[in-house]
Amino acid sequence: MTKRKLDTICIQGGWQPKKGEPRVLPIYQSTTFKYDTSDEMGRLFDLEDTGYFYTRLQNPTNDAVAAKICELEGGVGAMLTSSGQAANFYAIFNICEAGGHIISFAPVYGGTFNLFGVTLKKLGIDVTFIDPDATDEEIEAAFRPNTKAFFAETISNPSLVVLDIEKFANIAHSHGVPLIVDNTFATPINCRPFEWGADIVTHSTTKYMDGHATSVGGCIVDSGNFDWDKYHDKFPGLTEPDDSYHGIVYTEKFGKLAYITKATVQLMRDLGSIPSPQNCFLLNLGLETLHLRMARHCENAQKVAEYLEANEDVAWVNYCGLKGNKYYDLAQKYLPNGSCGVISFGLKGGRDVSIKFMDNLKLAAIVTHVADARTSVLHPASHTHRQLTDEQLVEAGVQPDLIRFSVGIENAEDIIADIEQALKAAR
C-alpha cells in the first residue's frame, strides 16, 4: 500500500476488519484469550508464537489504537500505557537502569521533571538537566560513558520551547545514544520527529490525541532506526540474553522491533501500567478527528496570541506562531502547519493580577488539564509545578507569573471576548 495521508490514517488506521467483522473498533473487554491446546499457550509464553493471551501484555483493542498512532508517527511498533507518565518512565527504563545516566532538556512537563529528578534518582539513574540555550561545550560536557539517552519535548509544556530535533538527534547519535522525544503538544499531525532523526517518540495521549479530556493514557512509538547492536555493551538489556524468556536476545530475535518488543513483553509484563480497552476505544474516537481539531486549535491560538500581543494589559506572550518569537524560525522548520493550541503569557502587575484574571474567566475553565476541546487555563507556579522551588521553576522555564492558556476549538471570537472581560475585571 502506498503511504497514506495523515487524515486518512486518523480515520482508517489501526483496526482493519475482515469479512463480517464490526466496522468500528470493538472493545475487547476481556482479560484473557482462549486456546485449544496447552502447547499453543506455552509457545506464546516463550514468544515462539504471537497471539493474545492476557490483556496485561496485549489486547486487540489496545493494539489497534497503538497501530494507528504508530502509523501516524511513521514508526515500526508502538505500545500504549495507562498514562503519559508511564510512557516516559518505560521509554527510559527500557534502556537505562541503576548505574545509568540520561540527559534531559530542563524545560519539560512538571511530572516528567519530578520523575527524572526524584524517582529515577531513587532507582539509581542519574539525570543531567540542560538548558535549551546551552553552548555546544556545555552539551558535550553533559555526556558521560554511562549516558543512555537524550530526552526532550517537541514543544515543552508549559514553557513552549521548540526543540531543534535534527540538531539534538545528531548530537545524541554522535555519542551513541537515542533521542527520545515527547511529542504530546505537537502530535504527529503537526510534527513527526522520526523524519528529523528522533529514535523514540512518547505521548501523553491524555491531551490532544484523546482531545475530549475523557481518558488518561500514554504511548511509546519506536522508529526502529536506532542500531542497538552497534553499541552492544551500552544496551545489554536489548543485546544480551533475557533470562526471563529462556535467554532470548531481543535484537537477534526481533531486529528493528527489539526496543518496543522488550518494552511490551518485559516491562509491561512486570510493571503492568496498561490502559483499559474502554479507554483505548475512547482514545480511538479522539484520534479519528485529531487532524481536524489540531488545525482549529492552531488557528484559534494564533488569533488569541495576536490579540494578547496587541493588548496593553499583557506584559509578554509566548507562542511560536508569533513573528518575533524566539522559536518562530524553528517552528517554521519543524511545525510549518501550526504548533499547538497552548499559549503562555504574563500580565502587567504580576501574580495577583494573574490570579484575579483567571478567577474572572467564564468560558475558559481553571483546570489542571491542558490541550483538549474546551479552552482552559492554569497558573503552573500555583498548580502543576507547585512542588518545585523557585530555582527549579526557573530551571524548568516557568516564570512565576506564567499563565498557561490552552485554546480550545470553540469560536475564537467568544474566547477572545472572555479574555477581554476578565482582563477588564482584573485591572
Q: Determine if 354 is a binding residue for ligand PLP (CB under 6 A).
A: no
Residue 85 or 344: the one with the smaller Cβ distance to ligand PLP is 85
Q: Determine if 111 is a binding residue for ligand PLP (CB under 6 A).
A: yes
Residue 205 or 261: the one with the smaller Cβ distance to ligand PLP is 205
Among 71, 73, 153, 164, binds ligand PLP (CB under 6 A): 153
Please report how close the Cβ of residue 83 comes to ligand PLP at its closest, in angstroms: 3
From residue 73 to residue 102, the character string flagging contacts with ligand PLP as x (rule: CB under 6 A) and all else as - is ----------xxx--x--------------
Among 94, 187, 190, 204, binds ligand PLP (CB under 6 A): 204
* Residue whose Cβ sits closest to ligand PLP: 84
Q: Please give the DSSP secondary-structure letter assigned to residue 160.
A: -
Instruction: For residue 153, list its beta bridge partners.
Output: 182
Residue 182 or 242: the one with the smaller Cβ distance to ligand PLP is 182
d(CA 354, CA 380): 11
Q: Write out the three cell numbers for 317.
A: 506572550
Q: Determine if 344 is a binding residue for ligand PLP (CB under 6 A).
A: no
Residue 85 or 284: the one with the smaller Cβ distance to ligand PLP is 85
Among 107, 193, 218, 341, binds ligand PLP (CB under 6 A): 218
338: left (phi over 0), alpha (psi -120 to 50) or beta: left
Contact 349, 336 (CB under 8 A): no
Q: Please give the DSSP secondary-structure letter assigned to residue 310.
A: T
Q: Determine if 188 is a binding residue for ligand PLP (CB under 6 A).
A: no
> Which residue from 85, 56, 91, 109 is spatially nearest to 221, judged by alpha carbons?
91
Q: Determine if 117 is a binding residue for ligand PLP (CB under 6 A).
A: no
Please report how close the Cβ of residue 410 comes to ligand PLP at its closest, in angstroms: 21
Residue 157 or 187: the one with the smaller Cβ distance to ligand PLP is 157
CA atoms within 13 A on the CB side of 225: 19
Residue 215 or 354: the one with the smaller Cβ distance to ligand PLP is 215
Q: Determine if 154 is a binding residue for ligand PLP (CB under 6 A).
A: no
Q: Write out the three cell numbers for 347.
A: 500580565
Please report how close the Cβ of residue 397 comes to ligand PLP at its closest, in angstroms: 13
Please report how close the Cβ of residue 111 comes to ligand PLP at its closest, in angstroms: 5
Instruction: For residue 248, list its beta bridge partners.
Output: 242
Please report how close the Cβ of residue 158 comes to ligand PLP at its closest, in angstroms: 8
Contact 219, 207 (CB under 8 A): no
Instruction: Give the interface segment with ligand PLP, choosing from 2-10, 105-113, 307-315, 407-415 (CB under 6 A).
Output: 105-113
Cβ-in-10-Å burial (0-12, 13-18, 19+) of 385 comes to buried
Instruction: Give the interface segment with ligand PLP, choosing from 203-211, 238-246, 287-295, 359-367 (CB under 6 A).
Output: 203-211
Please report how close the Cβ of residue 89 comes to ligand PLP at its closest, in angstroms: 10
Please report how close the Cβ of residue 343 comes to ligand PLP at its closest, in angstroms: 15
Q: Determine if 216 is a binding residue for ligand PLP (CB under 6 A).
A: yes
Among 59, 62, 104, 112, binds ligand PLP (CB under 6 A): 112
3-state secondary structure 199-223: CEEEEECCCCCCCCCCCCCEEEEEC
Among 184, 279, 318, 354, binds ligand PLP (CB under 6 A): 184
Burial 332-350 (b: 16+ CB within 10 A, else e): eebbeebbbbbbbbbbeee
- Residue 340: which residues within 8 A CB-CB, separation 6 or more? 155, 185, 186, 187, 190, 208, 294, 297, 298, 301, 371
Among 15, 28, 90, 109, binds ligand PLP (CB under 6 A): 109
d(CA 271, CA 292): 35
Q: Helix (H, G, I), strand (E, B), or coil: what is residue 405?
A: strand
Instruction: For residue 344, list its beta bridge partners.
Output: 318, 404
Distances (CA, A) of 65 to 58, 61, 218: 12, 7, 11
d(CA 284, CA 271): 24
Instruction: Give the interface segment with ligand PLP, choosing from 61-69, 107-115, 223-231, 387-395 (CB under 6 A).
Output: 107-115
Please report how close the Cβ of residue 154 comes to ligand PLP at its closest, in angstroms: 9
- The residues of the shown chain that bind ligand PLP, judged by CB under 6 A, are 83-85, 88, 109, 111-112, 153, 157, 182, 184, 204, 206-207, 216, 218
